Structure 1
């Protein structure tokens, strides 16, 4: 089991997803407030225990100390209610899990306070409180020992002396610990070779061709001050995702866009909480996500529909772009940069969806191959 992946089950993203689908009446998610609260508490606990950067370090009176103290108090109250019979015993953690959590949180609190107050530490990185070094060391010993996973004392000393002199073995690739330091990187990778022999400016050529095709097709009839003052019907999940991706594409464009008209034509500055397609952005944002303009959303929504139609074809990029240009009408307020902005949006969105589609298809193929290997062992 990989702990890094297992802990994602109780992450803030899962809590936001539960609230998002519960608001849309998904079966089995009608009453998820308790699960959401439980997930967020454990998410805050894991965040407090995984500080690895000096700017996030724990200091006197920091929020993480309060989070740990609050979690410890909640765990004790939860156990008391289970012991008194107010809640079922099955609704509480096992004795080993509860005791392990209590020891972890309490020891982390006491050690942090000791280092900050008695030892004069400016900050404490709690991610360093682990036994990864020991796990890596014994993992190397087991690795070099071959099939002998339980070496005797003479064998262990022999392996240790050999590794001390040669240091030929690397730490295990998978496990409950992480590698430290920078990993060795090849001077020349296969990707570098492919890029070296690739036609120069292939991506730029595609983008220039798309700009030429858009020349004259984009109108400048959109008013940037449009405000949507009524509630639309609840949209599907895919529309919310396209809206989220549209905001991501607009953020990338804003980095290199100086024209004020273009910047105003990309993102919404007014209140947009009434737009149902922005529900996912409102659910995920911590203050930095952007809301795209309505015409940008509709433009990429059409691109998503055409991409979904041609996703299994060989020339998916060309077919998607041609379909969008033939069947859709688009508009942008800036007459000087409208072709460039819309071409960059369309090109970037289709390229991003192609990468996502290939990654998802590769994951499906890996899962299928893994299942076939399991079946082959049974026969």
Structure 2
């Protein structure tokens, strides 16, 4: 957009507008591209159409840079472990984290969601690690958070049944809904902000603000909920960082091959 006035290529201008129409998104998916093109076909990016139902000129509803909330100071106690922070997230997470972490609902249609069957499969893995593999394991918690195999007709369990060789767990609707909300929050957070040293604390602050429910029996609800949040966030963050490192390594390898091809 900054170089649109110096560019002589209308096609380049068009794709530049599409990339910037939904925020800082240099690589829109085909779905995002089609939605943006359809939107651009009946309204302007910054200025209203001449025959519209409002006055011509720059849209006053667009946010100014000065309207953005300033970044909050980081909490000095962010070095505590993820497990203890997750357990006490409803009590001890500093309120200043919430000031700059209100995830916007704008353009949520562009956030890629995980498949529900994959979430169901991961929920069973969470049950294995957090419900069964714990010193506070109780039969009541097991009955609340797991269920028997629902059979082939249950669509959510198709992936789990396909991968099952004996031993995979099926989560209850309570655990599945909790993990699904966690996954949506994680995806929205890291689609709108870059990874940094306080990403775990930022994620827990958003969870504390948007996810106030607990899972399990009354006796172990607080402990078990914190354990599930900690395990899920750390696991997702591990694979997220692994994916970023893989992408960077691939870019370096391609740049190296391009340099060698130019030399030869």
Provide Cα deviations, 1:133-156, integer angstroms capped at 9, x if missing partner: xxxxxxxxxxxxxxxxxxxxxxxx
Q: Extract unaligned runs of 5+ from structure 2.
A: 1-76, 92-112
Q: Larger relative contact order (C-alpha < 8 A, sep ≥ 6)?
A: 2
Q: Distance in 1 between matches of 2:229 and 2:252?
A: 34
Hey, what's the Cα distance between the residues in 1 that align with 2:235 and 2:241?
Answer: 10
Instruction: Provide the C-alpha distance between the structure 2 equivalents of 1:305 and 1:340, rounded to a whole number of angstroms.
Output: 22
Distance 1:272 1:326 in 2: 37
Matches within 5 A, 1:211-360: 211-214=87-90, 238-253=115-130, 254-256=132-134, 257-269=136-148, 271=150, 273-311=152-190, 312-314=194-196, 315-360=198-243
Q: What is the rounded CA distance, in whole Å, between the counterparts of 2:252 and 2:155 in structure 1?
A: 40
Listed as ranges, the gaps of 5+ residues in structure 1 are: 1-198, 216-235
Q: TM-score, normalised by structure 2?
A: 0.54
Q: Write the deviation string for residues 241-293 of structure 1: whole angstroms up to 9, x where unpaired.
A: 22211111110120224311112122113635443222211111112111111
Distance 1:202 1:325, change over 3 A: closer
**Residues 1:240 and 1:302: Cα distance change in structure 2 (over 3 Å):** same
Q: 2:238 aligns to what SS in structure 1?
A: helix
TM-score, normalised to structure 1's length? 0.39
| Native 8 Å contact 2:146 2:171 kept in 1 | yes
Q: Secondary structure at the match of 1:317?
A: helix
Could you say which structure has the larger radius of gyration? 1
CA-atom RMSD in angstroms? 2.4
Name the counterpart of 2:255: 372
Divergent runs of 4+, >6 A: none
Q: For the structure 1 residues 325 and 249, does the alpha-carbon distance in structure 2 shift closer, same or farther, using more than 3 Å as the test?
A: same
Q: Which residue of 67, 74, 84 maps to 1:208?
A: 84
Number of residue pairs matched by the alignment? 158
**In 1, are the aligned partners of 2:149 and 2:170 still within 8 Å (CA)?**
no
Does the C-alpha gap of structure 1 residues 283 and 270 become closer, same or farther in structure 2, counting only changes over 3 Å? closer
- The offset of 1:370, in angstroms, is 1.0
